[in-house]
Structures are given as C-alpha cells and as structure tokens.
A = this chain, B = another copy of it.
C-alpha cells in the first residue's frame, strides 16, 4: 500500500490515539507485531483473531467505466468497539492495543468512554477482554486485563488522574515476551490467567 504525504502516520493517529504528539512514531510497530502474531496463530490453527477494518465514513464514490469504484471523499470515524476480537479455546476474546512513548505513565486519553463500556459488556457476557500496552521507550509490552483498567478509568471520570503509572502496569499487568514467530504471544498469558 502506498501512503504518500505521511498518510501512514495519520492512520496511526486515527486508529490508535487522539493525542498523537504523546505517542511514538513507531506506532505501527505494535499493530504490525500483533497482526503477525494473529497470522501465526491462524496458520497454526490456534486461534481465530482479526483486526477490524479502520472505520471510514464514505461520502463520495466515482464509477469509472471498466474499472473499480473509487472512493473520492471519505473520513476517518471513531471506532465504537475495540480493534481486535476472535475466538480461542471456545472463548470470545476482545482487546485493544496501544503504544506510548511516555516513559512513566500510560495516558488514558487514548481510550474512549464507549470503548470502556464495550469492554465491561464483553466481560459481563463471558468474553475475555484486555489491553495490550507497549512502552516504546523500553520496548516492553504488557497484557493488562480490562478489569484492572476500570478503576483507573472511573477515577479519571471523577476528576482523578488521567493516566496509569508505568510501575502499576508493570506490577499488575503481565509482561509479554517478544518472540520470533508469535511476536506478541498474548495467548500464553490467556492460558495462564483464564484456563
């Protein structure tokens, strides 16, 4: 795919955060790692997990004769759910992936209220829901059960801190080791926590 004029960077902005300045321009890396991992899981028939397409509001489409329809005006939309979901060992799994270049905290501005509501619902209905958080500065990636996120979110909504400290994530989350094939082997953590 050809992304002229820095389009790639904007895709990262739209797909992963509203406050792009706070985030690494290595932002695609986590997404690429997860996509690679999901493909590996799929090839091994271990789990069926896909990233949802980027939601786009289509306004104008042209129909050149003898060729495919061209979308000529469209806008990025905010996602109403999380980015990834699928099925593993009979369970519905659902997660969001976020990368920050902040060294001391994970800013909650990158998560939307309706995404939190979605996560709460998924858990209530028996799904497994979590965040994959990468601290780019340390190249460390953590598995954070969504349940552990909610109290920080509620604090923020009541005017409290707008972030989760790095140390809290390091202590209450689970480090995901970087591997060659299953680059972000989050199923290994799910095996331990939920089965």
Contact = CB atoms under 8 A, between A and B. Distances in A.
Interface of A: 1-7, 10-11, 14, 42, 45, 47-48, 50, 52-63, 68-77, 80-81, 85-92, 94, 118, 121-122, 124-127
Nearest to A121: B48
A63 B7 CA distance: 9
B88 A85 contact: no
Given A56-B56, A63-B5, A71 B71 contact: yes
27 contacts: A1-B57, A1-B58, A2-B59, A3-B58, A5-B60, A5-B63, A6-B63, A7-B61, A10-B61, A10-B63, A10-B69, A11-B58, A47-B125, A48-B122, A48-B125, A52-B53, A68-B75, A71-B71, A71-B76, A74-B74, A87-B92, A87-B94, A87-B125, A87-B126, A90-B91, A90-B126, A91-B92
Nearest to A61: B7
Q: How many copies are assembled?
A: 2
A53 B55 contact: yes
Nearest to A14: B69
Contacts of A75: 68-71
Main secondary structure of the interface of A (DSSP, over half): mixed
Given A60-B7, A74-B56, A92 B92 contact: yes
Contacts of A88: 125
Contacts of A72: 72-73
A2 B61 CA distance: 10
B4 A60 contact: yes
Given A61-B5, A91-B92, A118 B56 contact: no
B70 A122 contact: no
Contacts of A86: 92
Given A48-B118, A89-B125, A74 B71 contact: yes
